Amino acid sequence: MGKVHGSLARAGKVRGQTPKVAKQDKKKKPRGRAHKRLQHNRRFVTAGNLSDPCLNYWLIQHLFVGCL
């Protein structure tokens, strides 16, 4: 076993001090076809408005070379 930095008596000190917060109810994520639809929309449909001008320049130079 490797060398230990500090004593193991203090292990878990911060986690033990933090107050317990109950988990909140979350909305269920779509599964199957609906999840694939969400992925497609996130990656391709709404990705048209790229705000970084340098990224747009790179995309034009590398991806659309034969199209222009």
Inside any domain, residue 11: no
Q: How far is CA 8 from CA 3, 16, 17, in A?
A: 12, 14, 16
Q: Contact, 35 vs 29, CB < 8 A?
A: yes
- Number of domains making up the chain: 1
pLDDT tens-digit series, residues 5-59: 778 888 889 999 999 999 999 999 999 999 999 999 888 887 666 566 666 777 7
DSSP-derived letter for residue 24 is P
- Domain assignment present for 68: yes
Q: Which two tokens stand for residue 51?
A: 């705000």
The answer as to whether 65 is a domain residue is yes
Q: What is the pTM of this model?
A: 0.43
Say yes or no to pLDDT of 68 above 70: no
In a domain, 42, yes or no: yes
State which residues form the domain around 45.
Answer: 32-68
Q: Evaluate whether residue 14 is within a structural domain.
A: no
4 falls within a domain:
no
Residue 48 placed within a domain: yes
